[in-house]
Structure 1
Amino acid sequence: MASRILAQILVMGSGILVRAVAQAYRQAIANASKTGAAQEAMQNTVRKASKAITEQEARQILGVPENAAWEDILKKYDVLFERNAKQGSFYLQSKVHRAKECLEAVYQSKGQGPASG
């Protein structure tokens, strides 16, 4: 009998706690919306996520000079990408891939990239 009462108290207490946490969360969201904190946090997140690497950073990552031919860039990319796929890190592999994407856009805009050659 005592265990049944204890179980009921625990269930009721858990329900009250869950409702209180949900209400506090809703109130925090409402307060953030009123003060503009939510929009600012979202803008900061978007700004950080959209930071693209520059051409200079891409060249440093791949280790290619400014006058490198697109074929040389692809060879360097293949070597670095495969090396990091086998024994490196996913982070470095993604940096190498982003660097190639950046340079690909640069070379395409110059008419020298993969679309033209």
Structure 2
Amino acid sequence: MAGRIIANLIVVGSGVLVRAFAQAYRQALQNASKNGVAREAVENMKKVGKTMSESEARQILGVSENASWEEILKKYDSLFENNAKNGSFYLQSKVFRAKECLESAVKKDGE
């Protein structure tokens, strides 16, 4: 008998907690939208998703503005392989994104 009462209290109590949590979450979302926090978060996410600039890409690869595409590829291959063996995935991805950026810049100039 006591076990049944305890089990019922646990079930009812957990239901109350779940409903309270859901209501608090909805209220937090409403407050965030009223205060502009949601818009600010979206704006920050837009900034994160921006591509790298051509000058930043040239700095990462260590090439000058008048470097040929072959020179860029040579530096890219060297840095990419070195980071694959001894470096970090983050640096390797930065090198890859720098090459992509310069590749698109070269294609624009070639058109």
TM superposition score normalised by structure 2:
0.86
Residue 96 (1) aligns with residue 105 (2): no
Paired residue type of 1:9: L
Identity %: 65
Structure 1: 4+ residue segments shifted above 4 A: none
Paired residue type of 2:21: V
Paired residue type of 2:81: E
Instruction: Count how many residue pairs are aligned between Structure 1 and Structure 2.
Output: 111
Deviation, structure 1 residue 49: 2.1
**Equivalence for 1:59:** 58
Residue 34 (1) aligns with residue 34 (2): yes
Q: Which has the higher contact order (CA 8 A, sep 6+)?
A: 2
**Equivalence for 1:13:** 13
Residue 47 (1) aligns with residue 47 (2): yes
Deviation, structure 1 residue 35: 2.7
Alpha-carbon distance in 2 for matches of 1:11, 1:33: 34
Alpha-carbon distance in 1 for matches of 2:47, 2:36: 16
Alpha-carbon distance in 1 for matches of 2:89, 2:52: 17
**Equivalence for 1:107:** 106
Q: CA RMSD in A?
A: 1.7
Instruction: Write 1 or 2 for the structure with the bigger share of helix.
Output: 2
Q: Could you give the per-residue CA deviations for residues 15-51 of structure 1, whole angstroms, max 9, x where no partner exists?
A: 211110111111111122223221121112212222x
The answer for unaligned runs of 5 or more in structure 2 is: none
**Equivalence for 1:86:** 85
TM superposition score normalised by structure 1:
0.83
